[in-house]
Amino acid sequence: MNHESIVEDYRQTHPEVTVLDPPDAIQHIRNRQYMLQAVADMDLSESYVAKPLVADGSAKSHELSLAYDRYSLQKLEPPLVLQEFVNHGGVLFKVYVVGEAIKVVRRFSLPDVTKRELSKTAGVHRFPRVSCAAASADDADLDPGVAELPPRPLLERLAKGLRRRLGLRLFNLDIIREHGTRDQFYVIDINYFPGKVWENARI
């Protein structure tokens, strides 16, 4: 019996229990191609590091690899999702959505890659479970251009559109801002009920 059947059986047996999100909708966002397509379908802009295609909670599913040149891509094992690496000041924004409520926290992320590094480095660099190890950057002394949170109207539009497209009310987005810009943002991941950091992002 799969997880969806277990939850559905439990819901039928215990109608007093509220099920926030349908299991089949949760299952959809385990596939990163599906989840990021939902963002692209919103047609906010063209926004496109390699990640495993399926996010199943295992250590391997959280691995991140940085390929320094196109020839290194053949060293990566499919299935996976390719995303262009964007310098983002070493900070990402975790946007938690619970129904209509939105909460944003800053987390340290991968450091920027300089042109010098790109010219002298080749191959693939692996970063296991980057997001799980990310420390809070909310109290850090950051450059204001890096630390400024994404604009609220953008977050509200994203949250509303993804609630409708994904059929979920409880999820989080990982967003980065391209370093040196004010309004160039990229959604790089979507997670369902990311419990490890949930306590630090109470709404």
| pLDDT (tens place) for every residue of the chain, 203 residues total | 566 678 778 888 988 888 778 777 777 676 666 666 777 777 665 443 644 444 444 444 557 788 888 888 888 888 777 788 889 999 999 999 998 999 999 999 888 888 888 778 888 887 765 554 457 777 778 888 899 999 999 999 999 998 988 888 889 989 999 999 888 998 888 888 655 444 555 55
Report which residue type is found at 147: A
7 assigned to some structural domain = no
95 assigned to some structural domain = yes
Partner residues linked to 97 by β-bridges:
102, 171
126 assigned to some structural domain = yes
93 assigned to some structural domain = yes
1 assigned to some structural domain = no
Question: What is the count of structural domains for the chain?
Answer: 1
70 assigned to some structural domain = yes
User: Which pTM was predicted?
Assistant: 0.74
> CA-CA distances (angstroms) from residue 195 to 38, 105, 199?
23, 14, 8
9 assigned to some structural domain = no
29 assigned to some structural domain = yes
Range of the domain at 103: 22-201
Q: Rounded to a whole number, what is the distance in angstroms from the first to the last CA of the chain?
A: 34
Assign residue 164 the CATH number of its domain: 3.30.470.20
